[in-house]
Amino acid sequence: MDTTAPLWRTSDTELVNAHTAVVQRRRQLYAEELRLVAEMENRGVATKLGYSNTAALLMHTARLSRAEARHQLAQAHDLHATTTPTGSVIDSALPQTAEALARGEVGSEHVDAIRTTLADLPHLDAEQRATAEQVMLTRAAEDDPKALLRFGARVRDIVDPDGPPPPEEEPIRPARMLRRHIRRDGSMEFKGHLDLESAQLFENLLKPFEKPHPEGNDTRGYAERAGDAFADVLRMAANCPDVPAHNGARTEVAVTISFEQLQQSLDDVLLSSDPRMTAREARRLACDAHILPAVLDGDSKPLDVAVPAYAAPAHIRRGLYLRDKGCAFPGCER
């Protein structure tokens, strides 16, 4: 294309080809610029000329911004060999990218995409790193810089599908954990996490109990229904015959009361061991308690103590669940 001829005389194809050639030359000039910057940095030219560092030199002589000067230094450091203060030479981290930039095949933003991708894969050995760089350059011939950066997320799967080895001293997080705190009023706060299998078991146990009442008058929110369901599951677990016991037997509470007191209104009776528990609450808890008939003499000496027995055997209880679909106590909606 004749650069002195008016552009309106050129064909569309010639115009596009001319622009492509200019972009290629610009990239080649940028590659030469980075090569000069790398040489200035290796020689320590900036300090010899009275500048604090190479970035300050570029800001003054080339009138670059501080960010652009540091950006060029970072690219030059990765694309060209580096000389340390002791005189040793460190090979280029991205030699293939430097050659592609010198040929004008990639631009500055392509270089940044390749640098970012390989910086996220520090565990690769030299051969894998060279392969990853080649894969990125092949893709750069087809993609713009942003698309190339998105493709970089797949490079590890191509070059190293096994991923980095686990650290030697990887912290072990417990699969199951529970922290609980007893408040002053005896209630409890808890927080924790479960492994996958236990979490699924927990969900399956709660779901049947946390459903709203079928009558449609259930005003409880989801969190409240889940809390009630959790309490129901705890009660079921407490009644399990395989639950661990203390000293070979379940925890038992012995409540002694005279016949005269028993004839009085039980709503006014409190347990002496816990003044906050009323007799009504004690009766509710006693639904699942062991019944131990005992005969005492006048001095409260036990004369006969029967063996523990449930108020309703397990097989009868299952039948009651099937018949009543819940609690059959008058006024109870559970």
- pLDDT of res. 111: 96
Least confident span in 13-17, 129-133, 309-313: 309-313
More confident residue, 255 or 14: 14
Identify the three-state secondary structure at position 161.
coil
Across 21-43, average pLDDT: 95
Beta strand segments in 70-121, E: 82-83, 89-90
- pLDDT of res. 151: 93
Q: Are residues 215 and 72 in the same domain?
A: no
Instruction: Pick left, alpha or beta for residue 84 (phi over 0 → left; psi -120 to 50 → alpha; otherwise beta).
Output: beta
Identify whether 153 is part of a domain.
Answer: yes
Distance between CA 285 and CA 269 in Å, rounded? 15
Identify whether 168 is part of a domain.
Answer: no
**What is the model's pTM?**
0.50
Distance between CA 187 and CA 231 in Å, rounded? 12
- pLDDT of res. 318: 74
- pLDDT of res. 269: 46
Identify whether 178 is part of a domain.
Answer: no
Whether 14 and 33 have beta carbons less than 8 Å apart is answered as: no
| 280 burial level (CB within 10 Å; 0-12, 13-18, 19+) | exposed
Q: Are residues 152 and 34 in the same domain?
A: yes
Identify whether 313 is part of a domain.
Answer: no
Q: Are residues 201 and 153 in the same domain?
A: no
- pLDDT of 236-260, one tens digit each? 887 776 666 554 445 555 666 665 5
Q: Are residues 146 and 233 in the same domain?
A: no
Identify whether 45 is part of a domain.
Answer: yes
Least confident span in 84-98, 221-235, 314-328: 314-328
Range of the domain at 215: 190-239
Q: Are residues 201 and 88 in the same domain?
A: no
Identify whether 258 is part of a domain.
Answer: no
Identify whether 311 is part of a domain.
Answer: no
Identify whether 289 is part of a domain.
Answer: no
User: What is the residue-averaged pLDDT of the chain?
Assistant: 82
Q: Are residues 82 and 223 in the same domain?
A: no
Q: Are residues 206 and 92 in the same domain?
A: no
pLDDT at 22 over 90: yes
Domain C-terminal end among 118, 136, 159: 159
Distance between CA 315 and CA 235 in Å, rounded? 17
pLDDT at 272 over 50: no
Q: Are residues 131 and 227 in the same domain?
A: no
Q: Are residues 232 and 153 in the same domain?
A: no
- pLDDT of res. 56: 95
- pLDDT of res. 98: 95
More confident residue, 48 or 281: 48
Q: Are residues 109 and 210 in the same domain?
A: no
* Torsion angle, alpha carbons of 244, 318, 277, 243, to 10: 0
Q: Are residues 198 and 137 in the same domain?
A: no
Q: Are residues 11 and 137 in the same domain?
A: yes
- pLDDT of res. 267: 46
pLDDT at 312 over 70: no
pLDDT at 119 over 50: yes
Beta strand segments in the chain, E: 82-83, 89-90, 177-182, 188-193, 290-291, 294-296, 302-305, 309-310
Query: Number of folded domains in the chain?
Result: 2
